[in-house]
Structure 1
Amino acid sequence: MTAWQVQEAKQRFSEVLREATTDGPQIITRHGEEVAVVLSIDSYHQLASPRVELADYLLHGPVTQHLEIERDRTPMREAELGELV
């Protein structure tokens, strides 16, 4: 990420925008302190989009839409656990 002082960012705003779209977020500083970030619109949409819980994605995601899952209804077998000491 490139850091720009406010005055420099004002003077070279087109370059700040170009670098935000090609090189990633651009930090704007005032008196040496980070005060803002310029993002590409794609980065913004990615950050602003609602997060999907893993369980919801696994249950309703694109991969599971075409799966036909059938429960195995055969009786369970007995397991020998041995003697507990």
Structure 2
Amino acid sequence: MARPESWSVQDAKARFSEFLETCLSEGPQIVTKRGTETAVLVSAQEWRRLQAAAQPDLKALLLSDAGRIDLPVPRRGRLRRRAP
């Protein structure tokens, strides 16, 4: 995958339609502010894919059957209790 094109905030604002079309046709586009990468514009389809691939939140993890493990619990010994 080619490196995303970089747009300054001013260019992205002034040429938003072109910015959006480039994102849809070529992939994610980086927005820079004072030369520093600050944001990325991605298509809705790519956003959904990224969200699906992300780690589940704690609630989803606790409610799901996936990812649970059974911890081995050692068997209790057969020793008898000491007399008091």
Do the structures match in fold with TM over 0.5?
A: yes
**What's the offset of the Cα at 1:50?**
4.5
Tell me the equivalent position of 1:60: none
Unpaired segments ≥5 residues, structure 1:
57-85
Tell me the equivalent position of 1:20: 23
Tell me the equivalent position of 1:64: none
Distance between the aligned counterparts of 2:48 and 2:9, measured in 1? 25
* Compared CA separation, residues 51 and 9, structure 1 to 2 (3 A): closer
Over the matched positions of the two proteins, sequence identity in percent amounts to 40
**What's the offset of the Cα at 1:23?**
0.2
Distance between the aligned counterparts of 1:46 and 1:23, measured in 2? 16
Structure 1 length normalisation: TM-score? 0.57
Runs of 4+ in 1 over 2 A off after TM superposition: none
1:32 counterpart letter in structure 2: G
Distance between the aligned counterparts of 1:23 and 1:49, measured in 2? 22
Given candidates 9, 14, 20, the residue that maps to 1:11 is: 14
Given candidates 38, 55, 70, the residue that maps to 1:35 is: 38
Between Structure 1 and Structure 2, how many residues are aligned?
Answer: 53
